[in-house]
Amino acid sequence: MKRKMIQTSETWGCSDCAWLFIPSPGPPVGRTFEEMKDNFRRERDSAFARHNCRKYPRLEKCAPLAS
């Protein structure tokens, strides 16, 4: 199955590993709101394409604690 970018409650991540997108610090770059959104999407998509799933392994789910 091909990995996909998924939206989490606070950011974007990978469907196959624990990678999360962390945007560049500072205010969005652009002269208009549309330009800012385009720059954000370009940065996000580029980071997703470059990441290596082997560097971000998923944690195994733990069994619930017995009470």
d(CA 25, CA 28): 9
| pLDDT tens track for 8-55 | 888 999 999 999 999 999 998 999 999 999 999 999 999 999 999 999
State the pLDDT at residue 25. 93
- The partner residues of 12 in beta bridges, in order of sequence, read 7
The ranges assigned to domains in the chain are 5-55
- Between the alpha carbon of residue 13 and those of residues 2, 31, 44, 57, 66, the distances in Å are 14, 27, 10, 13, 31
